[in-house]
Structure 1
Amino acid sequence: MHVSVWGKLERRGDDIFLDAFLYEGEAGRKVLRKVYTGSKGVVRAMVHRLSNMIIERYTGQRGVAGTQIAFVAEINNGKQLHVMGYDGYRPRPLTNNRSLNLFPHWSPGKRFLAFTSYLDGNPDIHVMDLTTGEIRNVVAFQGANITPAWSPDGKQLAFASSFDGDSDIYTIEASGGTKLRQLTFSPASDFSPTWSPSGIEIAFSSDRGGSLQIYVMDADGSNVRRLTFEGRYNTAPAWSPDGRWIAYTCRNKQGSLKICRVTPDGRQSVQVTQSVGDHESASWSPDGRHIVFSVASRGESDIYSVHYDGSGLVRLTSGPYRASSPSWSLWE
């Protein structure tokens, strides 16, 4: 179907009016008119509403305009959390604590951000309330506490911790850091958990088979099975919102890191990204149509996005810092 959009912005006093028309077919039949009004500061939000409305009209699913991407910015030997629009618009800092802040992960609803920080001297898991700026230390076990991931209902955090020796996967209540539950007991290293959209399963990385691979288990730690078998380096899984794919970092035959994806039953896998550099830290858009990731090349590191099939590569950052570990927010 051929679809076109025409619109104009007009100032009327202190307000801005967006008058938009939607046309279908080669003949350009007008099917919809939308008028938005607001102050100059909300023009971008008005365009986002129009864009999302059009996408939902023709796909049945909301668009991603208005969502945000958190990431790590390496500045002056420190690593701070930043946030920007889904298209790279207006990156700005969330932390400024002269510490190392790593592995950001959005909560459902976009109010909280979980991350690992050395703020108290140890790599602990903290939660930031983005409405107040308050930061709480929720996992402070001795050893490394890393790669937090919110459960789909927002009630639990899955994470990796080495407080008992080797790194294992645990869950804990996100609200107060209680009801700790250990899910893996392998003498190998298990880390980077990611929940299925249903909350029934968790994928993770492990070297229990002699090389780093992607595994899946039930959310209680039972029924562990291996998903990836091609190559000796597959890590950092990220489950798609529709549950059909798990994106991850893979190493190709040339030795470069790329983004791949595999079905949850392990029967189908495909390399997604092809461009130069090392590609890591995949994160899905909330509609499952795009993947954001970091690209390291020639001493620089920036955030890029692609369609889930690997087409439409777009660079999102070009700041005076090395950008990595992106995390795409869900809808509010």
Structure 2
Amino acid sequence: MISAPPSQLSPSRRQWLAAAALAAAAPAMAQFRVEITGVGLTQMPVAVPPLRGEEASPQKISQIVLADLERSGRFIGVDASGAQLDETSRPDLSQWRERKADALSVGSITQLADGRWDTRFRLWDVVRGQDLSGQSYTVTRADLRLVAHRIADYIYEKLTGERGIFSTRIAYVTKVGNRYSLWVADADGENAQSALSSPEPIISPAWSPSGTQLAYVSFESRKPVVYVHDIATGRRRLIANFRGSNSAPAWAPDGRTLAVTLSRDGGSQLYTISSSGGEPTRLMQSAGIDTEPIYSSDGMIYFVSDRGGSPQIYRVGANGGNPERITFQGNYNISPAISPDGQWLAYIARVNGAFKLHVMDLKSHTTNAITDTTEDESPSFAPNGKLIVYATRQQGKEMLMTTTLDGKIKARLAGQSGDIREPAWGPFQKQ
């Protein structure tokens, strides 16, 4: 069994023992600032001058687009000062080559008579001298940030061949005074909307594959209970409120099933249950603690267990069976997250008393620690598998960070004061 004085338990460990809720969370902030650090090996220089008319816009579209691109680790901004271009311009690409830009995005934003905003842009391949086309959007003020993220998605996909994740969303938990809140925000942490507020802890948010629902654990009944919450309507349904603890929900790829950790039959064990509720099915028999399940895209369940004497990560089929141990390095590995393509495992390992984010190539089992912080927790992959969001602490403050899989480019999503916890990155959104 796993035991230690509460003062020695890391935040992640407190969570996987279902006690983290009492210390989880941090104050919500209306605005985040993005601080990007590190240098990648193959960053593409891109110029994003202000859109024509942007000075009158309530959102600085070009700044949001450039911050998105730089946070991905694939791009670096080029000085675009003095440029006065829009989507109808035929830019002198030789001037942009002199500025060392490989790509150029230009456009305009205009407020219409009905109050909506017409936003247009065009992308140029400076190296090849090609017009890569563009898009236009007519939206209300409330959707201008989403437009900026979609422009960044378009640029990212055109220049890398991979789908961008900037218009996706993250969920996280905060605490203000004695009140806990579950938030849904843009992938850069901005534009946060409260999904739930409670005087009791909320932990373990998990997105449905459709991105329309969140499962989470609430302590409002003075015990951990699993709910599923509809993002659009705010309605929720009770999934698991059995005797003992009900925790750590994870969605199956088809969205019809949840894996949960229940102690109804003694000890923390893994079960599956319909996403509409009902009677759970036990996956395995174990004398130890089994918890923190997460599905991979092929339907396997990764989880944490101390069945071998210390917390390690295992995997098992969706219908149970004999689990396979995955982590062997070190004696404390928890909080698994699987990349959408099934190639990478992110997890938290305790190394010399420090809790660090690690990434394992599941084919070669090569493992790397990719942070230099010491209190990392709750990793979650972006839906294109190229970034990880996680919670950590620096200089006494809890915060969210994103990192590339090699750890070379990190972005801090931090408010002016307070702490935030338990991030979960949502799936791709329908256009």
* TM-score normalised by L of structure 1: 0.92
1:93 Cα deviation after fit: 2.4
Q: CA deviation at 1:296?
A: 2.4
Offset of 1:27 from its aligned partner? 6.0
Q: Which residue of 2 aligns with 1:306?
A: 403
Q: Map Cα deviations across residues 176-227 of structure 1 (whole Å, 9 max, x no partner).
A: x12421112111001000101121x110001111111111111111131111
Quote the offset at 1:319 in angstroms.
5.6
1:126 to 1:197, Cα distance in 2 relative to 1, 3 A: same
1:188 maps onto 2:285 in alignment: no
Q: Which deviates more from structure 2 when the two are superposed, residues 179-188 or residues 106-115?
A: 179-188
* Residue 246 of structure 1, aligned match among 340, 345, 349: 345
Does 2:273 match 1:206?
A: no
Of 110, 122, 125 in structure 2, the residue corresponding to residue 10 of structure 1 is: 110
1:110 aligned to which of 195, 211, 225? 211
What residue identity is the alignment partner of 2:383? Answer: P
Aligned to 1:269: 367
Kindly state the Cα deviation for residue 90 of structure 1 after the two structures are TM-superposed.
2.3
Q: Residue type of the partner of 2:354?
A: S
Aligned to 2:334: 235
In structure 2, C-alpha distance between the alignment counterparts of 1:266 and 1:188, rounded to whole Å: 28
**1:227 touches 1:265 (CA, 8 Å); kept in 2?**
no
2:314 to 186, 204, 215: 215
Give the partner amino acid of 2:283. L
Query: Out of 358, 377, 398, which is 1:260 matched to?
Result: 358
SS in 2 for 1:316: strand
Q: Give the direction of change, closer, same or farther, for the CA distance of 1:315–1:99 in structure 2 (3 Å limit).
A: same
| Aligned-partner Cα distance in 2 for 1:123–1:25 | 55
SS for the counterpart of 2:320 is coil
CA 1:152 to 1:283, structure 2 compared with 1: closer, same or farther past 3 Å? same
Secondary structure of residue in 2 paired with 1:96? strand
Residues 39, 265 of structure 1: alpha-carbon distance in 2 compared, 3 angstrom cutoff: closer
| More divergent stretch after superposition (78-87 vs 278-287) | 78-87
Q: Aligned-pair distance for 1:40?
A: 2.8
SS of match in other structure, 2:414: coil
Q: Return the alpha-carbon distance in structure 1 between the equivalents of residues 376 and 212 of structure 2.
A: 28
Worse overlay, 91-100 or 186-195: 91-100
Output one character per residue of 1:142-201: Cα deviation in whole Å (capped at 9) or x when no partner.
1111110011110000011112111111110001x12421112111001000101121x1
Return the offset for 1:32.
Answer: 1.6
**Structure 1 residue matching 2:196: 3-state secondary structure:** coil
Instruction: Please state if 1:139 is matched with 2:240.
Output: yes
- Name 1:178's counterpart in structure 2: 278
Structure 1: stretches of 5+ with no match in the other structure: none
Q: Deviations over 1:110-146 (max 9, x none)?
A: 1111011112222110111112111221101111111
1:77 CA displacement:
3.5
Matched, 1:31 2:132: yes
Letter in 2 for 1:215: Y
**For 1:248 and 1:146, how far apart are their aligned partners in 2?**
19
C-alpha separation in 2, matches of 1:184 and 1:80: 34
1:64 corresponds in structure 2 to 165
Q: Could you tell me which amino acid in structure 1 is paired with residue 316 of structure 2?
A: M
Pick aligned residue for 1:316 from 395, 413, 428: 413
- Counterpart-to-counterpart distance in 2, 1:90 and 1:43: 11
Structure showing the higher helix proportion among its residues:
2
Residues 104 and 5 from structure 1, CA distance in 2 versus in 1: closer, same or farther, beyond 3 angstroms? same
TM normalised by structure 2 equals: 0.72
Residues 122 and 142 in structure 1, CA contact (< 8 A), matched pair in contact too = no
Q: Which residue of 2 aligns with 1:285?
A: 382
Give the alignment's Cα RMSD to 1 decimal: 1.9
Mark the runs of 5 or more structure 2 residues left unpaired by the alignment: 1-43, 45-101
Alignment of 1:83-98 (within 5 A): 83-98=184-199
Matching residue's letter, 2:190: Y
- Distance in 2 (CA, whole Å) between partners of 1:322 and 1:300 is 6
1:71-90 to 2 correspondences below 5 Å: 71-90=172-191
Inter-CA distance 42–195: structure 2 relative to 1 (3 Å threshold): same
Q: 1:26 deviation in Å?
A: 2.8
How far residue 51 of structure 1 moved from its aligned partner, in angstroms, is: 1.9
Cα deviation digits, residues 85-121 of structure 1 (max 9, x gap): 1001023322222111110001111111101111222
